[in-house]
Amino acid sequence: MQPLPSLDTRASRLLADHDVTSLAEHIAASSNCAPARARRAAAKAFHHAFAGDHKGDAPWDDDALRDGGIGRWARPALLVLSPRIELEIAERAPSEDGAERLLLRARDGALFESVIIPAQAGRDRARTTLCLSSQVGCARGCTFCETGTLGLQRQLAAAEIVDQYRIARRMCEPGTPDRPGDKRLTKRRDAALERKDESPSERSGEQQRAPEHFERPVSNIVFMGMGEPLDNLGELTRAISLLATQQAFAIPPSHITVSTAGVADKLAAFFRDTRAELAISLNAPDDERRNEVMPINRRFDLKTLRRALVDSLPPGRRVLFQYALFAGFNDALEDADRLAAYLGDIPARVNVIPANPGPQSDLSSPVDDRIDAFVRRLHARGVTALLRQPRGRDVGGACGQLAGARRKGAERESRSCPSR
């Protein structure tokens, strides 16, 4: 098989292209020290560079590293690396529902996207989910996905994955101008304050509660952006390792979910190399229909995919299955029965996703009654299922829509928004 294109990171000078293991190897090779000592220095370096990253760039010179407790023997190896963000924001596209799509430009000019999704209401209102990309484009060619129309341009390096998070985290920091979701929440608050049927005390209470709604750190990461993550497994797992490193960004692996179209021969390696959660895009209950919308099924059919999952799933782990509903294609009650039978005794839950507008106009969302009936049927069959509402659809940021709606214009743009 032809290797997939990637950015050459062999000569990378970016700190975020490393995790603790690879940075320790770099330090040990440069200083000829013991591996355990190099790992301690690597952890200190990550803490110095990234623990306060949401506040801006940490100082990175010999004095700063010395003050960070890093010995003289390790500092030369670290100072050849840069902790700075090298991505630029080429476009910000805020949605009416509070989500925000970001078009990002890499140092070689490549464009890819991420989406910031603040929770809307309820007990999760302080949660913000970040949807990350793992490739520039995608080779898998799912017919309902805009990204597939771009083809695969190249892999993303670990630093480019991590820096998507760093940019979003800084944007979501309290007090940052134009925070994602702020405009929508301000409108909601102002509308509530203008209601004439409220008492002064109620209006005051609304004002007092408003700041609580604005406290939105990035709390969850989903790799459901551009690309097939398991086609870039090495860079992906190194990026996840750094994101989860306690001394750096300290994101619990249980708050990181990686979505795959079903690259069955990579599942064992995924579970071996990372403790992140797994999501599988199924989207059809049988091979005939899945072949139509997901070409990967011709290589890894449903039986093969299920066997690989059952064989590699660690004890105590659960899998998220994603099932996009298309009107008249996969939304019958009998399809819900087939889906439940396929899952069987796999520890799983299902996200049912009404189809978003995509490249194939005949694949559209069912009416609400049919969607609700499908979910109820899964519940009746003992399947844990959740109806997932689309977010960012109006700015091309919902599932299956990421393709850079203004990509050509952004490529011509000589100026870009600051990323830091």
Q: 100 by DSSP, 3-state: which? A: strand
The catalytic site residues sit at: 113, 399
DSSP 8-state code for residue 84:
S
Tell me the two tokens of residue 70: 């890093």
Residue 39 CA: distances (Å) to CA of 42, 44, 70, 84, 272: 5, 9, 11, 21, 21
Task: Show the CA angle centred on residue 403, arms to residues 98 and 124, nearest 5°.
Answer: 25
- Closest among 379, 264, 364 to 312, alpha carbons compared: 264
Query: Alpha-carbon distance 176 to 170, whole Å?
Result: 8
Strands 348-354 and 319-325, bridge-based pairing: parallel
Neighbours of 175 (CB within 10 A): 6
Neighbours of 51 (CB within 10 A): 17
Contact by Cβ (8 Å): 227, 193: no
Query: Alpha-carbon distance 348 to 143, whole Å?
Result: 25
Query: Alpha-carbon distance 295 to 305, whole Å?
Result: 14
